[in-house]
């Protein structure tokens, strides 16, 4: 696989036009810090020095269904960092009870190939404890862990992404039983009483994990079924020790 490494600005990847990208070619952009980051709903976020901030530009072959890339990407990152990492639906990574980082997916689906920009930020060696707005920053080193080699960590993440993305492609865009199991054992909401909103209303019940479709499975008083969830919150967090069986 060919990689192009860029460490300045997003405009620098334009010479590697999307039309020139192939499924076996990934373009990585990496920043030492970010001063104008924008997340969901254009909310700003603070990315001080010491974190791992990267974007992957890649193309996907046509698939029968759209894969849940945020969860698959979060799993690959969590597997690369620590067994202590958890996933918070739908695109956050937690270390113990604190947020370690997040993921943004920008899809451009077309023919014959689909282009994705997969971005993430991780507070790894960040020594800052608060943002300029005085919001707390949680980082790997602030939990007492030793600092990590960020370049080596990014290589581990790439290896895990290749492995997980190949599983998704081989399964036609659906999650394999192995992927479902791997995601569900890390998912914070799994085994918890949750309240979620869907396009047709709200649902309350026990979260059973992620289905192969990428939808959330919730066991409510009415039924146990899959939902396209818009928002999700845990109503009462309980200790969860049992690994969920693959769906």
Looking up residue 223, the CATH number of its domain turns out to be 2.30.30
203 plus 143 within the same structural domain:
no
- Own/partner pairs for 8-15, CB < 8 Å, 24+ apart? 10/55, 13/57
- What pLDDT is stored for residue 204 in this prediction? 95
Same domain, residue pair 38 and 143: yes
> Is 52 contained in some domain?
yes
Residues near 140 by beta carbon (within 8 Å), at least 6 away in sequence? 81, 95, 100, 122, 123, 124, 125, 126, 147, 148
User: 170 and 101, same structural domain?
Assistant: yes
**117 and 158 fall within a common domain:** yes
Q: Cα separation of 133 and 87, whole Å?
A: 26
Looking at the fold, whether 212 and 143 belong to one and the same domain comes out as no
Q: Are residues 117 and 218 in the same domain?
A: no
Domain boundary among 122, 145, 174: 174
- Say yes or no: 165 and 202 in one domain: no
Identify the pLDDT of residue 77: 97
Tell me, yes or no, whether 125 and 220 share the same domain: no
> Domain range spanning residue 210?
193-236
Q: What pLDDT is recorded for position 49?
A: 82
Verify that 135 and 210 share a domain, yes or no.
Answer: no
Q: What is the pLDDT of residue 245?
A: 37
Q: Tell me, yes or no, whether 243 lies in a domain.
A: no
pTM: 0.84
Q: Give mean pLDDT in consecutive 10-residue pieces for the chain, a chain of 247 residues.
A: 42 52 80 66 68 90 86 96 94 91 83 81 85 76 93 96 94 95 96 94 95 94 92 77 38
Kindly state whether residues 132 and 228 are assigned to the same domain: no
pLDDT for res 175: 96
The confidence score (pLDDT) of residue 114 equals: 80
């Amino acid at each position: 696989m060919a990689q192009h490494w860029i460490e300045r600005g997003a405009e620098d990847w334009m010479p590697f036009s999307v039309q020139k990208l192939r499924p076996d070619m990934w373009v990585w952009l990496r920043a030492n810090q970010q001063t104008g980051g924008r997340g969901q709903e254009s909310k700003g976020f603070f990315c001080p020095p010491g974190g791992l901030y990267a974007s992957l530009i890649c193309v996907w072959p046509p698939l029968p269904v759209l894969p849940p890339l945020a969860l698959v990407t979060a799993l690959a990152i969590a597997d690369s960092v620590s067994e202590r990492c958890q996933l918070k639906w739908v695109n956050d990574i937690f270390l113990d009870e604190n947020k370690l980082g997040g993921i943004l997916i920008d899809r451009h689906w077309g023919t014959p190939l689909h282009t994705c920009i997969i971005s993430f930020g991780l507070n790894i060696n960040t020594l800052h404890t608060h943002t300029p707005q005085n919001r707390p920053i949680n980082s790997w080193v602030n939990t007492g862990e030793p600092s990590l080699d960020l370049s080596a960590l990014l290589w581990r993440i790439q290896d895990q992404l290749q492995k997980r993305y190949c599983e998704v492609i081989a399964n036609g865009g659906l999650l394999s039983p192995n992927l479902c199991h791997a995601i569900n054992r890390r998912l914070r909401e799994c085994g918890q009483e949750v309240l979620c909103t869907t396009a047709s209303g709200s649902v309350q019940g026990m979260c059973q994990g992620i289905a192969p479709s990428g939808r959330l499975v919730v066991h409510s008083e009415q039924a146990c079924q899959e939902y396209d969830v818009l928002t999700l919150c845990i109503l009462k967090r309980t200790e969860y020790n049992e690994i969920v069986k693959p769906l």
